[in-house]
A and B are shown apart, each in its own frame.
Chain A
């Protein structure tokens, strides 16, 4: 059994073939039982029979932990004694303020830079003949993990003291200019936060471009032609025709990036582990959980992340209700 659970082929066969077959057989068994039940009862039971698997997972992995985390956030380090709002008071004082400040920088800079670059890409790619190649190149980094992306960028940000050969791409480029000194990108506060954000931008622009590109192609061509005939410039056409009609896609991109900025972890963990003033909430939570073993504080941080995400949750729910009514 111990060997089986560690063997890659066995695990793949169990998970990807065995369990789906079991699920199918259980559905068949359930349907058989539902068919011998009285018709009305059978009709009532059937949807839950089908929804049973997904529902169990949703309750176990999302709903129960969500409620439990909120409860833990009012308890002490080993979740044995109530501490009231103590964990939240801790989360908004001392070093935590800097951590939250970094997340705010992420929240503003990351979505905006990604949006602007993706808009430029989506609109310009629409006008060239090698669009497919261009889109493919921009999309490539979206296949890469944030972990691998961070490693890739360590050598672009690499720093050697002034005077020695610069082996980092950026420092080699800027020291080509006379009298410019190399910059320790990852050790200089504020610049290092922006340097980390740039990695996330590189990794995320592809998906944003795909979404905006599809929206740009849906803008009514006749409207643009008519505006051109009226003598409107491209800049004006963009602001008064293109941008308003792709607004829903812009909102989707912004909300997606805001959520990503809230929970950013991998890049900071790999690049600086929160040192040099780059720490973010999610990395702090990992630290509280594994270095400090403080369940209460870790949970309080998670609750803060959840509360910060709530406006977007409501936005999605409202939009969904509007869509399903129409």
Chain B
């Protein structure tokens, strides 16, 4: 609304710095800052609320809102002690790591190998293969669950962590190959030619040209895959049922949320512990995360 009234004024004002009069520019700028500030605050407040709730006492949390902690601060680490020692969140974080770290490494390595074959080698069926991969990019995971559950039961993989590795790596490989493919096809062809003139084998070329040059895109893929694997609830819920290993952190938190017997405090502490690693990764590797999102968006 403000912008349209502004435009009528702008037409009559002298075209100084984008054709905006100083006074109009002033009020417009405050509106921009206002909206941006509201967005920033409302996107951050829920995370702050979680942190504050996780260090409040049981009594406080049950009788007043989290924001009262700023007026009458009384903080405790008891919820974290409860979550780690009684609820077994430490074991859950371990299981999540034992799933997400190998899945991240394997997805990155296999996607690099697949993308290298797809971009640098000519073979019949290459186009068809690319099209199938594109079609699989947006397949809902639900379509794969029922038959795999039966296969995993039949071969005894059900309830094991490697079963999750295989599923999560296989499910993301089409995306991974596409992300890396776009990057590898940007490597100058002369590099490959001079390598083959020097008599380098294909494996040698892969190891000393493709691998080192692809480190940025591998970092992008790795952080995206780690986040997806760490945050996935459906896969472990389906394939890890009845397992002897501690449930991964998403399953643990979902379980705590559905039964409130351990109290809100432990749930909040467990939830905060579950988001620490992904938050630190996204902040520390933001540049690679952004590149991954953009690279995947163009292709997908």
Contact size range, B:
35 or more
A151 x B147 contact (CB < 8 A): no
B49 x A156 contact (CB < 8 A): yes
Q: Select which of A23, A136, A259, A316 is within 8 A of B134 by beta carbon.
A: A316
State A233–B10 Cα separation when bound (angstroms).
7
Tell me whether chain A's interface is mostly helix, strand or loop, or mixed.
helix
A154 interface contact, C-beta 8 A: yes
Shortest Cβ gap from A187 to chain B (Å): 16
Q: Number of A residues whose C-beta is below 8 Å from B? A: 122
A299 interface contact, C-beta 8 A: yes
Name A154-183 residues within 8 Å CB distance of B: 154-156, 165-169, 172
Q: What chain A residues lie within 8 Å of B202 (beta carbons)?
A: 31, 46
A15 x B106 contact (CB < 8 A): yes
Given contacts A12-B98, A144-B279, A145-B231, contact A270 B113 (CB under 8 A): no
B131 x A57 contact (CB < 8 A): no
A269 interface contact, C-beta 8 A: yes
B171 x A61 contact (CB < 8 A): yes
B217 interface contact, C-beta 8 A: no
State A309–B140 Cα separation when bound (angstroms).
8
B174 x A141 contact (CB < 8 A): no
B130 interface contact, C-beta 8 A: yes
A110 interface contact, C-beta 8 A: no
B136 x A140 contact (CB < 8 A): no
Tell me whether chain B's interface is mostly helix, strand or loop, or mixed.
helix
State A119–B40 Cα separation when bound (angstroms).
14
Given contacts A31-B201, A144-B279, A265-B234, contact A54 B177 (CB under 8 A): yes
B36 x A125 contact (CB < 8 A): yes
A113 interface contact, C-beta 8 A: no
Q: Select which of B53, B95, B102, B141 is within 8 A of A14 by beta carbon.
A: B102
The residue in chain A whose Cβ has the minimal distance to the Cβ of B61 is A167
- Residues of A with Cβ closer than 8 Å to B? 5-6, 8, 11-12, 14-17, 19-20, 23, 27-28, 31, 35, 44, 46-48, 50-51, 53-55, 57-58, 60-66, 68-69, 72, 117, 120-121, 124-125, 127-128, 133-134, 136-148, 150-156, 165-169, 172, 202, 205-207, 210-211, 214, 225, 228-229, 231-236, 249, 252-253, 255-256, 259, 262-263, 265-266, 269-270, 273, 282, 285-286, 289-290, 295, 298-299, 301-303, 305-306, 309, 312-313, 316-317, 320-321, 324
Q: A55-B114, A140-B44, A316-B138 are in contact. List 12 more A-B contacts (CB 8 A).
A: A19-B102, A117-B39, A138-B40, A139-B289, A141-B46, A144-B275, A147-B253, A153-B46, A202-B46, A210-B294, A252-B300, A309-B139
